[in-house]
Amino acid sequence: FPFLVKGSASARFHIVNKTDHQLHTPESHRHSQVHFKADQPLTLLGFYSEQAQGIFTHHDSHLHVHLTTDDNQRSGHVEAVELKPGMRLLLPKN
């Protein structure tokens, strides 16, 4: 199921800046990552599934989460996040 979490948080995240037009492999993925930190209001967009490991989550996880900062200056794949008091969890109605 999809979910959103909105509010202030501290997060580590990355983007993939791969520009060589070569085959995308796990090694090239690691080497093309650019890492960032954010400690500000943001939105987390995530997916949780116990049946989709390796499909739209990593093979060893039930979660896949991205973020965007509320000032729209950064977005990327979440590596770690510390939620702060007052964050809101939004779930689908159905």
Query: What confidence score (pLDDT) does residue 56 get?
Result: 66
In a domain, 80, yes or no: yes
Residue 22 included in any domain: no
- pLDDT tens, residue by residue, 46-70: 998 888 777 766 777 788 999 999 9
Q: What is the pLDDT of residue 34?
A: 87
Please tell me which residue, 53 or 3, carries the higher pLDDT value: 3
Q: How far apart are CA 6 and CA 88, in angstroms?
A: 5
Structure tokens at 63: 């979660």
The structural domain count of the chain equals 1
Tell me the residue range of the domain where 39 lies.
2-16+33-88
Residue 57 lies in a domain: yes
What pTM, to 2 d.p., does this model score? 0.82
Task: Please indicate, yes or no, if residue 75 is contained in any of the structural domains.
Answer: yes
> For all residues of the chain together, what is the average pLDDT?
89
How far CA 94 is from CA of 1, 43, 91, in Å, comes to 10, 21, 9
% pLDDT > 90, the chain: 56
CB count within 10 Å of CB 55 equals: 10
